[in-house]
Structure 1
Amino acid sequence: MTDQWEQQDEAVDAVVIGGGAAGLNGALMLARSRRKVLVIDSGSPRNAPAEGVHGLLGREGVPPSELLRIGREEVRRYGGRILDSEVTDAVRSGDGFVVTLGDGRTVGARRLLVATGLRDVLPDIPGLAERWGRDLVHCPYCHGWEVRDRPIGIVATGEGSVHQALLFRQLSDDVVYLANGHEPDEAARTRFEALGVPVVEGRIAAVETADERITGVRLDDGTLVAREVLAVGSRMEARTQGLQSLGLRSVDLPGGMGTSIEADEFGRTGVPGVWAAGNVADAKAQVGAAAAAGALAGAQINAELALEDADRAVALRRSAAASR
Structure 2
Amino acid sequence: MTKYDVIVIGGGAAGLSGATALARSRRSVLVVDDGTPRNAPAEGVHNFLTRDGVPPGELYALGRQEVAGYGGEIVKGTVTTALRDSGGFTVELADGTAYQGRRLLVTTGLADVLPDVPGLADRWGKDVLHCPYCHGWEVRDQAIGVLATSAMALHQVQLFRQLSDDVTLFLHTAPELTDDQWEELAARGISVVQGKVEQVEVENGKLTGVRLEGGKVIPRQALAIQTTMRARADFLADLGLETVVRETNGIVIGTVVPVDARGATDVPGVFAAGNVTDPMAQVMSSAAAGLMTGAGINFDLITEETRLAVAARSS
In the aligned structure 1, how far is the partner of 2:79 from the partner of 2:262? 24
1:60-95 C-alpha deviation (Å, 9 max, x unpaired) = 111111110110011011000111111010011124
| Structure 1 contact 55–142 (Cα < 8 Å) conserved | yes
Matched, 1:79 2:74: no
Residue of structure 1 equivalent to 2:235: 242
What is the identity, as a one-letter code, of the residue corresponding to 2:228?
R
Question: 1:222 is matched with which residue: 215, 227, 240?
Answer: 215
Measured after TM superposition, the shift of residue 159 of structure 1 is 1.3
| Structure 1 contact 248–262 (Cα < 8 Å) conserved | no
1:236-283 C-alpha deviation (Å, 9 max, x unpaired) = 000013221122242211111111110012101111000010000011
Q: How does 1:253-264 map to 2 (within 5 A)?
A: 253-254=246-247, 255-264=251-260
Q: Which deviates more from structure 2 when the two are superposed, residues 307-316 or residues 149-158?
A: 307-316
Runs of 4+ deviating beyond 3 Å: none
What is the identity, as a one-letter code, of the residue corresponding to 2:311?
A
Matched, 1:209 2:202: yes
In the aligned structure 2, how far is the partner of 1:28 from the partner of 1:44? 20
In the aligned structure 2, how far is the partner of 1:96 from the partner of 1:83? 20
Residue of structure 2 equivalent to 1:139: 131
Residue of structure 2 equivalent to 1:19: 11
SS at match of 1:216: strand
Percentage of pairs with the same residue: 53
Q: How does 1:183-202 map to 2 (within 5 A)?
A: 183-202=176-195
In structure 1, list runs of 5 or more residues that go unmatched. 1-7, 320-324
Measured after TM superposition, the shift of residue 188 of structure 1 is 1.8
Question: 1:127 is matched with which residue: 108, 113, 119?
Answer: 119
Matched, 1:270 2:266: yes
Measured after TM superposition, the shift of residue 195 of structure 1 is 1.1
Measured after TM superposition, the shift of residue 291 of structure 1 is 0.5
In the aligned structure 2, how far is the partner of 1:45 from the partner of 1:181? 29
In the aligned structure 2, how far is the partner of 1:102 from the partner of 1:249? 20
| Structure 1 contact 25–71 (Cα < 8 Å) conserved | yes
Residue of structure 2 equivalent to 1:231: 224
Q: How does 1:284-323 map to 2 (within 5 A)?
A: 284-319=280-315
| Structure 1 contact 179–202 (Cα < 8 Å) conserved | yes
What is the identity, as a one-letter code, of the residue corresponding to 1:117?
G
In the aligned structure 2, how far is the partner of 1:186 from the partner of 1:49? 38
What is the identity, as a one-letter code, of the residue corresponding to 2:221?
E
Give the root-mean-square deviation of aligned CA atoms: 0.9
Q: How many residues align structurally?
A: 311
What is the identity, as a one-letter code, of the residue corresponding to 1:283?
P
1:264-305 C-alpha deviation (Å, 9 max, x unpaired) = 121011110000100000111111110111011100000010
Measured after TM superposition, the shift of residue 316 of structure 1 is 2.1
In the aligned structure 2, how far is the partner of 1:276 from the partner of 1:184? 38
In the aligned structure 2, how far is the partner of 1:60 from the partner of 1:197? 30
What is the identity, as a one-letter code, of the residue corresponding to 1:294?
G
1:155-195 C-alpha deviation (Å, 9 max, x unpaired) = 00111110100000010000000000213332221111011
Residue of structure 2 equivalent to 1:117: 109
In the aligned structure 1, how far is the partner of 2:132 from the partner of 2:45? 13
With normalisation by structure 2, the TM-score equals 0.97
What is the identity, as a one-letter code, of the residue corresponding to 1:232?
I
What is the identity, as a one-letter code, of the residue corresponding to 2:62?
I
Matched, 1:70 2:41: no
In the aligned structure 2, how far is the partner of 1:64 from the partner of 1:39? 17
In structure 2, list runs of 5 or more residues that go unmatched. none
Matched, 1:28 2:20: yes
| Structure 2 contact 233–243 (Cα < 8 Å) conserved | no
In the aligned structure 2, how far is the partner of 1:264 from the partner of 1:65? 30
In the aligned structure 2, how far is the partner of 1:250 from the partner of 1:185? 34
Matched, 1:60 2:52: yes
What is the identity, as a one-letter code, of the residue corresponding to 1:299?
A
In the aligned structure 2, how far is the partner of 1:285 from the partner of 1:265? 15
In the aligned structure 1, how far is the partner of 2:210 from the partner of 2:300? 53
Q: Which deviates more from structure 2 when the two are superposed, residues 277-286 or residues 244-253?
A: 244-253
With normalisation by structure 1, the TM-score equals 0.94
SS at match of 1:267: coil
SS at match of 1:243: helix
In the aligned structure 2, how far is the partner of 1:266 from the partner of 1:184? 40
